[in-house]
Amino acid sequence: MFIALVHEGLRVLQSPIVRAYVGETATLGCSFKYRPGSVVNVKWTRAPGVALESHHSFYSGRLNVSFQDLLRKGEVTLTLSELQKRDSGLYRCQVTIRHEDSGTGAGTELQVMERNQSDTVHESLKVHQSPAVLRASPGETVNLSCSFENRRDSKAKATWTRAPGVVLESDHPFYSGRLNMSDLDLLQKGEATLTLSELEERDSGLYRCHISIHQGERGTGAGTELQVMGRNQSDTGKEPAPVGCCARELLYQVAIALGLLLILGLAATLLLKRHRGTKPEPSPR
């Protein structure tokens, strides 16, 4: 059998695991380096290589794949609603850029669980994120943070994702040189940080902190909504007036007015003198 690997040069990143409960909705995401103007085709498969299609009877009304808006950002999502236990499996994202290259993600393992006591205990770690909303301007640097209780200073791992489920990694082409995460010492204290520099407007989104501790506890923060907004042209377009400019302008207008009054006064004086200098001749008797 021939396997075409020649064009597998495009790196596609996926979250390794997504957990959800029966009846809920799960969103799987993948990201890749997008070249503006490129034609992109995306295909989702579920192991062992079954193509996911919305018109399939099993997925009818439950499956939704993102397209143009997210594709322009180098992101793709697959949303599956009304989850069933048999939806569990490995989902892989295949991206092809026409006339350039293609790639396939390592896959996201979707684990659909029944709600029971063992699951709720497993999700008992509380992760706090603040603020809920963070606003910044392009070019700036922001620090996102979360905290949790690490009672025994155990080994902890922090994973940051950006909705819809894109794992943030420093070696990703889009984040290269702009992303920095907290080290192990800070994690042992129950804190995790994410620093993102040289912000762009497309960095806007919901950032969530996922913590897992060696004993098996894990938890996810509610998220921080990062809003990167360009400066308002109506504000930046109006430069503040220099100090004293208005006073100078007023004096200038007063001087002009006084000059006009002086000219009008001189003209009136000349006319009056001319009128007095021309006396009428006496009429003959």
Q: What is the CATH number of the domain that holds 14?
A: 2.60.40.10
Q: How far apart are CA 205 and CA 213, in angstroms?
A: 26
Which amino acid would we find at residue 153?
Answer: D
Structural domains in the chain (count):
2
Q: Give the pLDDT score at 146.
A: 92
Task: Dump pLDDT digits (tens) for 26-53.
Answer: 888 888 877 776 778 888 998 887 888 8
Beta strands across the sheet bearing 26-31: 13-14, 26-31, 75-80, 63-65
Q: Is the pLDDT of residue 125 over 70?
A: yes
Residue 213 lies in a domain: yes
CA–CA gap between residue 198 and residue 194 (Å, rounded): 14
Residues 51 and 136 in one domain: no
Q: Give the DSSP letter of residue 240.
A: P
Whether 18 has a pLDDT exceeding 90, the answer reads no
Looking at the structure, do residues 108 and 2 belong to the same domain, yes or no?
yes
Q: Domain of 18?
A: 1-115
Q: Which residue has the higher pLDDT, 281 or 73?
A: 73
Would 222 be classed as within a structural domain?
Answer: yes
CA distance 212 to 192: 12
CA angle 155, 158, 160 (to 5 degrees): 175
Q: How far is CA 181 from CA 110, 145, 192, in A?
A: 26, 10, 8
Where among 180, 211, 230 does a domain terminate? 230
Tell me which of 230, 246, 279 is where a domain ends. Answer: 230
33 versus 2: which is more confidently predicted? 33
Are 141 and 191 members of one domain?
yes
pLDDT value for 230: 78
Last residue of a domain, one of 230, 251, 269: 230
- Considering the chain, what percentage of its residues have pLDDT values greater than 90? 12
Q: Are residues 43 and 99 in the same domain?
A: yes
**In this structure, are residues 147 and 191 in contact, taking their beta carbons and an 8 Å threshold?**
yes
Q: Report if residue 5 sits inside a domain.
A: yes
Report the percent of the chain where pLDDT is more than 70.
78
Predicted confidence (pLDDT) per residue in 191-237, tens digit? 899 999 999 888 888 898 988 887 677 888 888 999 998 765 434 44
102-104 and 89-97 beta bridge pairing: antiparallel
The pTM score is 0.48
Q: Do 95 and 130 belong together in one domain?
A: no
- Identify whether residues 102 and 124 lie together within a single domain: no
Helices and strands (H, E) in the chain, number of each type: 5, 20
